[in-house]
Structure 1
């Protein structure tokens, strides 16, 4: 039988996209943690 060959999936652009998405995810997570820590101070400042 002949062995099927498949084109290479991904490459440089896929890796760059993955890295950017991970950076955005980390930034979002840290931002939410900072907001939850500062929530009481923000409420006090706005009242």
Structure 2
């Protein structure tokens, strides 16, 4: 039980320590870049279609 508890605690600490570092770096640029690139491409036909 003690070993399992130690392993679980170590895993939680590792996840808590790694989770904020890993997603913040790639997610921040990837998330906005994808919609921005798509947003720039989409409005042209979408805007024309809505205007018509």
Q: TM-score range by the shorter chain?
A: 0.5 to 0.7
TM-score, length basis structure 2: 0.51
Structure 2 counterparts to residues 34-45 of structure 1, below 5 A: 34-45=38-49
RMSD of aligned alpha carbons: 1.9
Work out the CA distance in 2 between the residues paired with 1:46 and 1:14: 47
* Alignment size in residue pairs: 37
Unaligned runs of 5+ in 1: 1-10
Matched, 1:15 2:18: yes
Work out the CA distance in 2 between the residues paired with 1:31 and 1:14: 29
Moved over 3 A (4+): none
TM-score, length basis structure 1: 0.54
